[in-house]
């Protein structure tokens, strides 16, 4: 069985996220999503999520492409996740292009960067909602 892993916050889940997950699943038989915890997002990324970790996890678990959701608690866990879950392919969006090449050097996993769905992002949705709220 080929195992694939990807990482992300997946806040304000949208069709760009679904496209990424669908395309990631094509690289293997079993897709693991490492979901950034609220604490990790705040402490490491200075990001406050709209939905809690538990709500975001429930949304991801309802998607047919996703087989397992695990917590992402720190940047450094990627190597141990790949080893612990016997991952063959590590996938990230191309906004991270080159930043995780070290994974291929330190493990047997292939690193793949998938292009993002250009017309949608959680950041843009949040900005659009902020502007709408200011106008109302």
Catalytic residues: 45, 47
Count of CA atoms in the C-beta half-sphere (13 A) of 26: 7
Does residue 104 sit in helix, strand or coil? helix
Taking the C-alpha atoms of residue 68 and residue 48, their distance in angstroms, rounded to an integer, is 24
Q: How far apart are CA 116 and CA 17, in angstroms?
A: 9
């Amino acid at each position: 069985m080929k195992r694939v892993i990807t990482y992300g916050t997946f806040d304000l889940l949208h069709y760009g996220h679904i496209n990424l997950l669908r395309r990631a699943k094509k690289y293997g038989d079993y897709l693991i999503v490492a979901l950034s915890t609220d604490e990790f997002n705040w402490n490491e990324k200075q990001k406050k999520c709209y939905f809690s970790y538990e709500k975001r996890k429930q949304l991801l678990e309802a998607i047919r492409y996703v087989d397992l959701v695990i917590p992402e608690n720190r940047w450094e866990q990627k190597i141990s996740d790949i080893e612990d879950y016997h991952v063959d392919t590590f996938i990230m969006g191309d906004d991270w292009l080159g930043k995780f090449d070290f994974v291929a050097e330190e493990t047997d996993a292939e690193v793949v960067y998938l292009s993002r769905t250009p017309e949608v992002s959680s950041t843009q949705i949040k900005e659009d909602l902020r502007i709408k709220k200011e106008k109302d």
